[in-house]
Chains A and B, each alone.
Chain A
Amino acid sequence: MTAVTESPQAPLAVRAAVVPEDLASRPSLRETVDQTLAMAWRATKKMRRNPEQFFDVTIQPLLFTAMFAYIFGGAISGSVKDYLPLIIPGILAQTALTTCMAMGTQLREDMDKGVFDRFRSLPIARIAPLAGPALADVIRYMIAATLTILVGIAMGFRPGGGVLGTLGGWLLTIVAAWSLAWIFTWLGTVARSAQAVQGISMMIMFPLTFLSNAFVPAESLPGWLEAFVKVNPVSHVVTACRDLINEGQVTAEVGWALLGCAAVVAIFAPLAVRSYSRKI
């Protein structure tokens, strides 16, 4: 009698399952970029279907520019027109912060959805689901920055730095917004709920914008406050924007602002990826 290997669980396989031999141990840079772009594509699709995501970036520049200019203009600079060179770069920075703040809340909400389970189970770079939306969000920062400058011009603002200087300030605003968004992205990955992200974000946003030189010159403040305002990174962004837009000059402040942005990304992007990979 021939020995027959008994296999009660005989598989029905017609052809053997192909198990690839050469599996990459981590995604390459190229793949990471492609995956980030795919995630950004997803985010733009979502934006198109939820147009309310564009409310804040359109209404806020219109409202805040006009409001702040007319309320504080006379008191701080003597007239609205004289205040515009001071306030427009300030509003730019403030708008950058408030629009990028939405990143955290949205990511938190998104992560609770089923599709994130699939993202986690796919062989993709862990940073892609975070960097993709951040990239798509640049569209919103562009709209906000452009509108702020246009409203200013409509109110009589004539940037001393000319087209190039203004463009430089516009670009710096967007870079700053994208960089600061990583703080909120990180918050989104660690907080328990979207409301918590919202609350904490507000607590970060208010001191950063109002305790800066965005709306009033730092020199007009009491000493201890002036000290904080001077180290606040938002102040550097505001000053750098003023230098670019009003003077058309690339000053050391621009360098400091960019360095500050780079530092924020270098700290918070890895933190965000780490806590995202750990999260269930």
Chain B
Amino acid sequence: MNDNLHPPAPRGDLAVDATGLVKTFGRPGSNIVRAVDGVDLQVVRGEVFGVLGPNGAGKTTMLSMLATLLPIDGGHASIFGVDVVDQPHRVRQLLGVTGQYASVDENLTATENLVLFARLLGHRWPAARTIAADLLERFGLTEAATRQIKNFSGGMRRRLDLAASLISRPPLIFLDEPTTGLDPRTRGQMWDTIRELVAQGSTILLTTQYLDEADQLADRIAVIDAGRKVAEGTPEELKAGVGSSTLHLRLTDRTQTAAAAAVVERALGEAPVLTPEAGGLNVPLANADGAGEVLIALRQAELSITTATVRQPTLDEVFLALTGHHSETSENDTETEEVA
């Protein structure tokens, strides 16, 4: 669709340069899954690049290939110009990887985990202990320093996991769904941490299922679906494709849905989208002010509503606009930012 809106940056400036990445799972003969199916990815030094996609889109698989964790079945990838297949050891020195599931040792304490990773990265014992203490303080985990990870909450694990990825001060950081499962406050803290890393000059490649997260953090976004890149651009460009915001309406009387849809279409000249639950309408708005006109039109038609919310488009709406089908994830767990 609106692929490659920007001219490619000069190769030397690319933190990640991947072309035609392919990963297939399954044996020939049985049903083969093309988890990643020819994805091109160019991440410029110093930017935050967001990979947006629903469950099973191939986000984790793609990051794993770039992080030398999975063999690449097709295509070519390099990190800061270093080939991922030929020079895995060099690539690993450039990367900090925070996986989707916490990759820390359950049986060790927080301090022991960080000391272990620091030792593995070549720091002497005293230095390793200092690094561990510093990072624990920075991530607000000092009190839990001597607790085993199996007694940690999900949010604490995530923070420790990110801390572990920063020991080597890597110039490129992979974050696979860094805030999935975090409460809003912890999520905000995670966002702040990510912004700090960027301010210190790190390049970040993050995946997420939430458009608002990509919007908050990313300079550029690639949307992937079923292993393919369906769009790429700045958050503004993507949202422009679905209207800048969405008015979500719920009718008092579900049987009037069709009538309400007709009223909305007359007011804005564009048909609203019916939500999966009955009696709900999503109205894409090019301009948030349009909400007023819709509400006035409904009142004049004497159609009563229970709720009206103006919010950013969800991933599902971006998806629908880009691919013509719903993403499977966004039934109830879409995070919405209430503006009205």
**Which residues of A come within 8 Å of B, CB atoms?**
8-20, 23-27, 31, 34-35, 38-39, 41-42, 45-46, 49-50, 113-124, 128, 278, 280
Residues of the A chain whose Cβ atoms lie less than 8 Å from the Cβ of B199: 12-14
Given contacts A11-B198, A16-B201, 8 further A-B contacts (CB under 8 A): A9-B220, A12-B195, A17-B45, A20-B93, A24-B90, A41-B116, A46-B108, A50-B107
Report whether A18 and B171 are in contact in the complex, using a CB–CB cutoff of 8 Å. yes
Chain B interface size band reads: 35 or more
Residues of the A chain whose Cβ atoms lie less than 8 Å from the Cβ of B105: 42, 113, 115
**Stretch in B119-127, B263-271, B293-301, B327-335 with 4+ CB within 8 Å of A:** B119-127
Closest A residue to B105 by CB, please name it.
Answer: A115
How close is A54's CB to chain B, nearest CB, in angstroms?
16
Contact among A14, A39, A41, A45 for B201, CB-based, below 8 A: A14
| Most B CB within 10 A of own CB, among A12, A24, A50 | A12
Report whether A17 and B120 are in contact in the complex, using a CB–CB cutoff of 8 Å. no
Within 8 A of A (CB), among B181-209: 195, 198-203
Report whether B44 and A9 are in contact in the complex, using a CB–CB cutoff of 8 Å. yes
Given A9-B219, A121-B95, A14:B200 Cβ within 8 A: yes
Given A9-B220, A23-B93, A27-B89, A34:B119 Cβ within 8 A: yes
Total A-B Cβ pairs within 8 A? 137
Residues of the A chain whose Cβ atoms lie less than 8 Å from the Cβ of B108: 42, 45-46
CA of A11 to CA of B220, assembled, Å: 10
B304 at the interface (CB under 8 A from A): no
Enumerate 25 A-B pairs (CB-CB under 8 Å) in ascending A order.
A11-B44, A11-B46, A11-B198, A11-B219, A12-B46, A12-B198, A13-B45, A17-B15, A17-B201, A18-B201, A19-B171, A20-B93, A24-B90, A31-B122, A42-B108, A42-B112, A46-B107, A113-B105, A118-B103, A121-B69, A121-B95, A121-B103, A122-B92, A122-B117, A123-B168
Report whether B89 and A113 are in contact in the complex, using a CB–CB cutoff of 8 Å. no
Residues of the B chain whose Cβ atoms lie less than 8 Å from the Cβ of A15: 200-201
Residues of the B chain whose Cβ atoms lie less than 8 Å from the Cβ of A12: 46, 195, 198-199, 219
B256 at the interface (CB under 8 A from A): no
